[in-house]
Structure formats: structure tokens, C-alpha cells
Amino acid sequence: MRCPMPREFYIKKDSTKITREGLDAEVYLYENGKLCAMGFIAKQSKPAFHFAFRTEEQRTKHVDEFFASRQKSQEFKENRQKEKREFVTSLKVGDVLHGSWGYDQTNPEFAEVVEVIGPRCVMIREIAQVSDPNTPHGMSSMSENVLPVPGKYTSEPVRRIVSPGDCVKFNEHCYMSKTDPNKSHYNSWYA
């Protein structure tokens, strides 16, 4: 088992520490026959970068780009968290959800919203599916198009959290989103 080295292991003596207010990143500048810089993000012990530069301008440019990238990353993360906090689902009782999963095959799944619990939670029930008689079969005898059958439940209700975009994790294989109950979906399998 490898034991990670602490951040102090990488930082050279007589380094100059540079930080930017509001950012969880820091850079250390030093000279070792060359102009060098190493940067760390948050609580990471290994450097995010550790380079030597030919000129001071190159080093300064790289450090500025590193901080700008970290600023952009932090803003994106904060906006995503804000979006999640403020999200309110638009799903309503009776909405049909669809998702598919599979490796070398396509397994469509359908569920119906049976109850809305608060701004980000719903109760859903899996519903049956039937072959769509209005669409031709696929390229082989091992595929077809299927339609959901709202109201024909095949499982007990389960509580699910709704993510931004009205996306619901149905099971470990499948995420679902709202679909038109009259739209057919592809299904394929191996014999």
C-alpha cells in the first residue's frame, strides 16, 4: 500500500507562495537553475502542475491561466449547486417517464408519476409496455418498437428524487425523463 506524501514534501524551500482571494488554489514559484512553478487545488497533496519555464512571461502567463481556470471551475460548481437548491420539478401526476439501458441491446423502461412530494421528489410506478403495431420491426427479428401503457402498473410505487432537467434515477442502470406516451421506443435483445 502506498502512502501519499503531504503537500509540504513537494514544496521547495525558499518558494514564493501566490494565492488569489476567493480561490481554493495556490501556486509556489521557485528557481532551480530554471524558473519553476507548481500549483495545488483545494486540499490536494500532489501538485496540479509542476513545470519549468524559459521566461518569466511564460511562467506568469501559465500561473494567470491556472487561476483563471480555477475561478471558472469554482463558478461553474457554485452555479450548479445554486441550480440544484432552487430547482422545482415540473413533473405532475400522470406524466410518463422513459429511460433505456443495456450493453449490446436496448432495454426501454417506463414509469408513471403517481404522486408529487414537495419541490424535488416524486412517487413513480413502473408501467407495462406493448409492441407498437404502427411501426415496422427493426433490421432483425430481435428488435421492435414499444409503447408505454399508462395505468397498467408492474411494480409498487417508489420514491425518487428529481434532478434538474426533470431527470429521475429509476434504478442502478437507468435514468428517466418525461416522454410522450404515444411515442414508441426502440427495444432490442439477444436470443
- What is the model's pTM? 0.66
Rounded Cα–Cα distance for residues 87 and 23 (Å):
26
- The model's pLDDT over 123-182, given as tens digits with 9 standing for 90+, comes to 999 999 988 877 665 555 777 888 999 999 999 999 999 998 899 999 888 999 999 988
Supply the mean pLDDT for the chain. Answer: 90
Contacts of 142 (CB under 8 A, 6+ apart): 188, 189, 190, 191
Residue-level pLDDT at 35: 95
Residue 117's pLDDT band, with cuts at 50, 70 and 90, is very high
Residue 67's pLDDT band, with cuts at 50, 70 and 90, is very high
The domain locations on the chain are 7-86, 96-188
Q: What is the residue whose three cell numbers read 408529487? A: 116
Instruction: Give the pLDDT mean for 63-81.
Output: 95
Q: Given a cut of 90, is residue 3 above it in pLDDT? A: no
